[in-house]
């Protein structure tokens, strides 16, 4: 049994004494101990070495009274397992020497055996759970098929992912084939994570907001739904689609346990769109962690009161920024932990 199950109870919609709290990218670049490892090992070495991934996962847990841990990894380990050779370039980010831009290239992509190609992730889960010692839940995650397609076609990060969108509109059959292959791989990957002991999984649709509402349903949401429906019988599933407030109503009718929301939608609108019937997670603007600790505490209190303490998980509206002072991150977390109605 997990000693602090507040996060899991909130996902189930149970009445809680206060909302649980964790932060997207909490195991990362704002921590000096993370920076020390980053200076010693390259990015994918950190992801692919179970001992390092477990250590990075635990770093924020040792510092802060968080209610959940999230396994340190990256969404691009899935396309790597599919034979798409992503690298992480200094100063650029994700990089693919040969982007996937033709139907012929899509045909060649294989759905891998995840136990072989991604075993290092599953080993990291085992090591992390040993260190967590049943104190708090561990979250596993994956990128949405659409978000992964964006990187595969663009070959790097982008402000608009025009090439990815154009590929979908010019070669819809190939795009849907690629999306299905990513979806099938993701389902197998997340199922194995659950088998290894994670308590919940989150799907990150970081670039869903690049699509119009109509195109979002066609090229993103239907594939996320497949993942949710495949995983929901065995675990809690959270969907975070950045910039997709317009899809909240449709998403609320799915089998997802919770929906993440970014800072571009108010708590009131998010609750109205979802009929107040599903747990919501978010939506503190990460840049607001540059405010003073006092202002952060006041804003967190306001955020909780507006969302309501039940069916709510306090979090950021996206990943924590790398230059956030530690005392400000701590102020955010403690404001939730010490919150009283």
Is 216 assigned a catalytic role? no
Is 25 assigned a catalytic role? yes
Q: Which of 9, 25, 63, 306 is catalytic?
A: 25
Alpha-carbon gap, residue 224 to 145, rounded angstroms: 7
Whether the upstream peptide bond of residue 280 has omega within 30° of 0, thus cis, is: no
Is 38 assigned a catalytic role? yes
Chain centroid to Cα 233, Å, comes to: 20
Is 29 assigned a catalytic role? yes
Distance spanning both ends of the chain, measured CA to CA: 28
Question: Could you tell me which residues are annotated as the binding site?
Answer: 25-29, 44, 74, 151, 206, 318
In three-state secondary structure terms, 204 is: strand
Q: Which of 38, 63, 232, 306 is catalytic?
A: 38
β-bridge pairing 93-95 and 87-89: antiparallel
Q: Which of 151, 189, 223, 312 is catalytic?
A: 151
Alpha-carbon gap, residue 219 to 234, rounded angstroms: 25
User: Residue 170: how many CA atoms within 13 Å on its side-chain side?
Assistant: 10
Q: Which of 5, 67, 74, 205 is catalytic?
A: 74
Question: Could you tell me which residues are annotated as the binding site for substrate?
Answer: 25-29, 44, 74, 151, 206, 318
Alpha-carbon gap, residue 52 to 39, rounded angstroms: 13
Nearest to 251 by CA among 293, 285, 208: 208
Is 151 assigned a catalytic role? yes
Q: Which residues are catalytic?
A: 25, 29, 38, 74, 151
């Amino acid at each position: 049994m997990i000693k602090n199950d507040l996060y899991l109870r909130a996902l189930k919609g149970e009445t809680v004494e206060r909302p649980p709290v964790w932060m997207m990218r909490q195991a990362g670049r704002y921590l000096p101990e993370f920076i020390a490892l980053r200076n010693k090992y390259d990015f994918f070495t950190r992801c692919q070495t179970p001992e390092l991934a477990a250590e990075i996962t635990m770093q924020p847990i040792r510092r802060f009274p968080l209610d959940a841990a999230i396994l340190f990894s990256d969404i691009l380990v899935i396309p790597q397992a599919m034979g798409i050779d992503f690298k992480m370039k200094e100063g650029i980010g994700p990089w693919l020497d040969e982007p996937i831009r033709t139907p012929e290239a899509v045909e060649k992509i294989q759905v891998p055996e995840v136990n072989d190609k991604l075993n290092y992730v599953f080993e990291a889960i085992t090591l992390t759970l040993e260190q967590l010692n049943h104190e708090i839940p561990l979250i596993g995650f994956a990128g949405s098929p659409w978000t992964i397609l964006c990187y595969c076609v663009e070959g790097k990060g982008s402000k608009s992912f025009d090439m990815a969108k154009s590929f979908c509109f010019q070669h819809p059959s190939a795009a849907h084939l690629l999306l299905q292959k990513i979806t099938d791989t993701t389902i197998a990957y997340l199922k194995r994570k659950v088998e290894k002991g994670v308590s919940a999984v989150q799907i990150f649709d970081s670039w869903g907001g690049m699509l119009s509402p109509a195109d979002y349903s066609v090229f993103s949401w239907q594939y996320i739904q497949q993942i949710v429906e495949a995983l929901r019988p065995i675990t809690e599933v959270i969907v975070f689609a950045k910039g997709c407030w317009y899809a909240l109503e449709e998403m609320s009718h799915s089998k997802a346990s919770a929906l993440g929301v970014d800072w571009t939608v108010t708590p009131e609108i998010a609750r109205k769109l979802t009929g107040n019937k599903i747990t919501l997670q978010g939506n503190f603007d990460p840049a607001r962690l540059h405010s003073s600790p006092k202002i952060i505490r006041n804003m967190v209190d306001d955020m909780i009161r507006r969302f309501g303490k039940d069916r709510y998980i306090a979090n950021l509206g996206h990943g924590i920024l790398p230059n956030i002072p530690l005392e400000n991150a701590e102020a955010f977390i403690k404001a939730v932990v010490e919150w009283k109605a």
